[in-house]
Amino acid sequence: MKKISRRNVIRYGLAGTVLGIAGVAKSWDQALLAPTPAEVEGPFYPVADQADKDADMTRITGRTGVAKGEAIIVEGTITDISGNPVADAVIDVWQANAAGRYNHPRDPNPTPRDPDFQGWAVIRSDADGHYRFRTVKPGAYPATKTWMRPPHIHFKISGKGFRTLITQMYFPNELLNEADLLLRNKSPKEQSAMIAKADGDHENLTVYAYSIVLIPAQR
């Protein structure tokens, strides 16, 4: 992997992405769960509001089309470091479409947007801390001339009494994971926590399990 410019290091947050979180994780008692590693928000968080932000990103209310690409389900449980479920957490999710293009005005990727892909969802965990949404597997895209980002989904999770967590979920068995400048900046244990597990199928769709551990606000 060639070096990238200082501007892109800052842009994607390579400097200091693990500051604090690794030290915090080491401070937990052995019986407690390690917090989900934090990651940068990235440059393509949605800037224009939209009416449809429900848990099915493969369709948009008022349109008859279906998003292009492989439809999948992502689900998991949000807990605290003791394993207790976090109910009613706000889960903000955004991602590129199947071609690797975000619905964002500053995305330079020349691949087309998908008018039938929602691209952004804001949902909540249930009483058991569980969440589920339907989407398409995002495509890889060029972050720079020498850096291809692997498929990933962005998460921002807010729960009452907990620190807001921004992180990214990666997919298993992706060759680009090994070279990704953000993911490889994590320890092997942190990488494992950020890579979803293929967990069977539901309605003929692959289910990816991705559970999240939040840090109490007072820590």
The catalytic residue among 104, 152, 170, 210 is 152
The catalytic residue among 154, 170, 208, 210 is 154
The catalytic residue among 102, 131, 208, 210 is 102
Active site residue 141: yes
CA distance 27 to 157: 22
Active site residue 104: no
Question: What is the CB-side half-sphere exposure of residue 161 using CA atoms within 13 A?
Answer: 8
Q: Which long-range contacts (CB under 8 A, 24 or more apart) does 12-15 make?
A: 12/40, 12/42, 12/43, 12/143, 12/181, 12/182, 13/39, 13/40, 13/41, 13/42, 13/182, 14/181, 14/182, 14/185
In 137-176, DSSP assigns E strands to 141-144, 147-149, 152-158, 165-170
The catalytic residue among 149, 170, 208, 210 is 149
Residues tagged active-site = 102, 141, 149, 152, 154
